[in-house]
Amino acid sequence: MKNAMAETGTAVTKVIDRIPREGMDAQLEQAMKNLIAAALKFRGHLGVTVTRPSLPAQPGFRMVYRFDSCEHLRAWEESPERARLVAAANRYTQGEPHYDVLTGLEAWFTLPAQPALRPPPRAKMTLVTWLGIFPLVYLYAELFNQILPSGTPAILKVLAVTAFVVPTMTYVVAPRLTRLFKDWLYPRPN
């Protein structure tokens, strides 16, 4: 678990796992909706994903917040509004929450609906990332060479290619590659 956040402009993901008290699922879910509604109003908020309990792999709710910077995440986490809403949610949970903070490529390699895992070695993340980015860059470069008029400045071609590569990698390719290579990225201990 990471407690310190780097002072960078890099997007940051916060993973929070909470186990509901017996029979309190609906109340905890409503408390989380209140937290989400409040977080959406904070500067730099990029969205949140909630995963419901799926025994035995994940006995609790998982909230995954995304902010555009550590500074904006910190502003949300230190806000009185969040403190009040977390205190309300705590009435419906058992045990202490588990937190993970992920920045950069680590966020691409967190398996959905899995307990928070230590990120794979950077060399493995680099290779899997390259396996996704290389074909995307090639395909989009070929596509834009056909679409854009000849003589288009290289900077505009690169802008167009990267504008499509990054979201395709983030939302389509990286999750699939993570699932495909999960046994290599996250080997089971013997």
* CA-wise closest residue to 106 among 181, 10, 176: 10
| pLDDT exceeds cutoff 60 at 109 | no
Lateral strand order in the sheet of 93-103: 45-51, 61-67, 12-20, 93-103
Asked if residues 77 and 49 have their Cβ atoms less than 8 Å apart, the reply is no
Domain chopping of the chain, boundaries: 12-109, 122-185
Residue with tokens 């290619």: 161
Tens digits of residue pLDDT in 119-166: 678 899 899 999 999 999 999 999 999 999 999 999 999 999 999 999
Output 96 or 190, whichever has higher pLDDT.
Answer: 96
User: Is pTM beyond 0.85 here?
Assistant: no
Instruction: Label residue 3 by pLDDT band (50, 70, 90).
Output: very low
**Cα–Cα distances in angstroms (integers) from residue 151 to residues 138, 141, 147, 154, in the given order:** 19, 15, 12, 8
Tens digits of residue pLDDT in 19-30: 888 888 889 989
Token output for 27: 């109340």
Q: Which fold has domain 12-109?
A: Alpha-Beta Plaits (3.30.70)
